[in-house]
Structure 1
Amino acid sequence: MRGVKVFSGTSHPALAEAICQRLGTTPSPCDLGHFANGEIRVQIGTSIRNEDVFIVQSGSSRINDSVMEMLIMINACKGGSAKSITAVLPYFPYSRQSKKKAHRGAITAKMVANLMVVAGVNHVITVDLHSSQMQGFFGKPVDNLFAEPLIARWIRANVRGWRDVVVVSKNVGGTKRVTSLADALKVRFAIVSTDRDRRRSTYPSNLSMADSSVFFDAVEPASLRTFERQNSDPDDADTEADRTPSRKSRQLNGSSLRPKAVTISSEPQISTAPQADTDSGPEDDSLLGAGLSRAETMPSARRPSEYEANDALGDEKARDVIISRLISGHVVDDDHPSPALSAQFGLSRNSDDHDTDNMTASFISTASSLQADHALGGTLDAAATSDEEEEEIRNPTLEHTVTLVGSVKDRTAIIMDDIMDRTASWVAAAETCVKRGHAKKVYCVAIHALFDDEALQELEDCDCIDHIVVTNTFPMSTERLQSSKKLIVIDLSNLLSEAIRRNHHGETVSGLFSAD
């Protein structure tokens, strides 16, 4: 194409070569190197005055060198009087740091965007940003291309019986991406959620009573307990402990349990004996006078919920929810011994040391483990990075609960996410689909293959994973590609070259988002 110069950085030269081949050109000469002290040196080797310049530079294992090299190339082209400078980043560096996940954290993706604008970029072309809101980080136009149409076409052409596949999200955060692919294929989808199992947790022995009151306020507000004390007869109790309602009465008065039929005596006490018939009428006023809250409406006066009205439908939905145990990153049987969580707190698991019930202990353990640095997200899980989640899943002293919502029985499961770097969550989702959901085949599909040193081999060793499908947005060595038997790479050079051509000629790029 006339009036176009395509430059390639050192991060992904194979992709840049493929893009230029489809455009009918060759990469323009550019001398890239390092000084003796490690500084990056860039020298443009051709005239770019009044030319449309496209710089192809993706993230790589040397991510910091790739970013600095791209910034210097942009600034060098700006100094060479280029007409426009477009940065083509198949994988945008630092895209996972697009929001502040904890106090005193950095929004690094916005900082990289600001550096690019200061360097002189006029336009950005990228593929599947980790957060689509990142387009607002730039003061320049951004074309966020999607690999979903190419993946959908590959599935239609290569997956046998693709009309019956189920697209699975390995975590709740990827649900939107999974449902989009399911809509493109017009198939079902399912969700795998992994959470720490706190039912077997213990709590510190030095926990104060002020901390334990948090649990009771959550189950039964303090205002309700005060109301009960004011309406009770002080002569019936000699001490403050006796005036405190027992756990059994709190469960009856609380709104967390479903209301049951009760019998009201002349004194303000509630009997737990069930009654076959309950009359409504004059006794309604006595119910309120006895301290019965409006949330405890008698079953005869309460309209049945949609779940009670459709028991058969509820049973069918319940069968599509499968809960499994996850220990050391693998799904285990129900009779598998639980890891010794007591070692984490330095306590004995002897239940005789504490008279607190399991529900109270679990809640107190959860509340006491929260740190102030994680308040931005509201919960501890919201502040955890993907690396921290992977470490927790692999931790042999922690037990997790894996929930599969949706049916994959006798179907092919396609586990989908945008980034594939560490493998614990992928293996857990695959084992859940096969061992518990009885899926007949599993495809792990990702757009950006950021494999660490042992990630690809771990996926290869997993018997529950049949194929690993990724794109070439991130560079991979030839040795790694040849050594893997399950890895399949989808080429995106056609998508990127067409985006470059349409941007140069001022054409619309909306046709690149269609999966038809």
Structure 2
Amino acid sequence: MEESKTKRRMKIFSLNSNHALSEKIAAEVGMPLGKAAIKQFSDGEIQVNIEESIRGDEVYVIQSISDPINDSLMELLIMVDALRRASASQINVVIPYYGYSRQDRKARSREPITAKLIANLLEDDAITRVLTLDLHAPQIQGFFDVPVDHLAAAPLLASYFSDGSFDVENMVVVSPDHASVSRARTMAELLGTPIAIIDNRNEESVESINEIPTEIIGNVKNKIALVVDDMIDTGTRLTISAEALHNAGATEVYGAATHAIFSNNAPKILQESKLSKIIVTDSIRIDADKKFDKLVELSVGPLLGNAIKMIYDNEPLAPLFKSQK
């Protein structure tokens, strides 16, 4: 009895960006979501009310920094402030999609580094830990001075293709540009395939569906090509990659990415592309009007839920980086 009194208590709270994923995470952990109300005043100010005691608790708050991205960020910051003032012993933020991550360095003069700014805001808010998934650049972990657990969706995505329905021996994993080679290599190692690289040196070309790269490093002729990226925003880069691979002789082209941002008319572009299927995760909520026939959605709920249990029990997360059937 004395031991149960001193045992740390865990609470999991969901904010508004992706409540469906939060429910899956909580189900994996084996506990209900905490009670909290997140509302807005008439002028748009965000109001948070935690409707149960969390004094001394180890709290996990789940929020993707996704569309509406600024509201999602402010919800998270305000919730953390409320948790701290309510005497939570630890405040762990679970960020399936870390928004503002694409500006992770100064590529041109007079540019901000927004990925570092978000890290500063969260640390100034006195968080204890960050649990996140497939950062745009792994070095963003170094922007924090608190522990960061950086999970990968590659084993989950790879499991979709290694279930026996695909001729993996005739598959090649493709990087859409030189910057994404390490991501493609990780997927290729999980599937046991070679890699290829689309030699897309003109960054502006990804904005135009009419400019198709012609140079491909590696053999894709008569192969099933799998283009791997961390996110899909407008869908243009994935679409032109599919065109380039078909022109180079690939028999089929699939796309796989962790974060389905799907801005503007991305679903229409992807549905009309030469891609056979597009496999993504539910790290970002995909509304019904953004779903389309070629889309396959896998859940990272079990992955994040298991990570929370391991963190709470002070266990290593290494098993989560292995292939997940």
> Secondary structure at the residue paired with 2:215?
strand
Task: Please list the CA deviations of residues 225-280 of structure 1 after superposition, one character each: whole Å capped at 9, or x if unmatched.
Answer: xxxxxxxxxxxxxxxxxxxxxxxxxxxxxxxxxxxxxxxxxxxxxxxxxxxxxxxx
Task: Tell me how far apart the structure 1 counterparts of residues 135 and 24 of structure 2 sit (CA, whole Å).
Answer: 22
Identity of aligned residues (%): 35
> Secondary structure at the residue paired with 1:140?
coil
Residues 1:30 and 1:13: Cα distance change in structure 2 (over 3 Å) = same
2:288 maps to 1:478: yes
TM-score by length of 1: 0.60
2:312 maps to 1:500: no
Mapping 1:194-233, distance limit 5 Å: 194-196=200-202
> Which structure: greater helix fraction?
1
Report the RMSD for the aligned CA atoms in angstroms.
1.6
TM-score by length of 2: 0.94
> Secondary structure at the residue paired with 1:194?
coil
The amino acid that maps onto 1:390 is V
Measured after TM superposition, the shift of residue 164 of structure 1 is: 1.9
2:144 maps to 1:141: no
Task: Tell me how far apart the structure 2 counterparts of residues 510 and 195 of structure 1 sit (CA, whole Å).
Answer: 35
2:3 counterpart residue number: none
1:71 counterpart residue number: 77
Residue pair 1:390, 1:422 contacting (<8 A) in 2 also: no
Residue pair 2:262, 2:290 contacting (<8 A) in 1 also: no
Please tell me whether Structure 1 or Structure 2 has the larger radius of gyration of its CA atoms: 1
> Secondary structure at the residue paired with 1:157?
coil
1:152 counterpart residue number: 158
Equivalent of 1:390, from 200, 206, 224? 206
Residue pair 1:195, 1:402 contacting (<8 A) in 2 also: no
2:221 maps to 1:405: no
Task: Tell me how far apart the structure 1 counterparts of residues 237 and 74 of structure 2 sit (CA, whole Å).
Answer: 32
2:276 counterpart residue number: 466
> Secondary structure at the residue paired with 1:413?
strand
Task: Tell me how far apart the structure 1 counterparts of residues 100 and 300 of structure 2 sit (CA, whole Å).
Answer: 21
Measured after TM superposition, the shift of residue 26 of structure 1 is: 1.3
Q: Which runs of 5+ in 1 are unaligned?
A: 197-380, 382-387
Equivalent of 1:21, from 11, 18, 27? 27
> After the TM superposition, which parts of structure 1 deviate over 2 Å for at least 4 consecutive aligned residues?
388-391, 399-402, 478-481
Residue pair 2:212, 2:243 contacting (<8 A) in 1 also: no
2:251 maps to 1:443: no
1:121 counterpart residue number: 127
Measured after TM superposition, the shift of residue 427 of structure 1 is: 1.5
User: How many residues align structurally?
Assistant: 318
Residue pair 2:176, 2:228 contacting (<8 A) in 1 also: yes
2:103 maps to 1:97: yes
Task: Please list the CA deviations of residues 268-295 of structure 1 after superposition, one character each: whole Å capped at 9, or x if unmatched.
Answer: xxxxxxxxxxxxxxxxxxxxxxxxxxxx
Task: Tell me how far apart the structure 2 counterparts of residues 409 and 36 of structure 1 sit (CA, whole Å).
Answer: 58
Task: Tell me how far apart the structure 1 counterparts of residues 33 and 186 of structure 2 sit (CA, whole Å).
Answer: 35
Task: Tell me how far apart the structure 2 counterparts of residues 27 and 43 of structure 1 sit (CA, whole Å).
Answer: 14
Measured after TM superposition, the shift of residue 400 of structure 1 is: 6.1
Measured after TM superposition, the shift of residue 2 of structure 1 is: 7.0
Residue pair 1:195, 1:400 contacting (<8 A) in 2 also: no
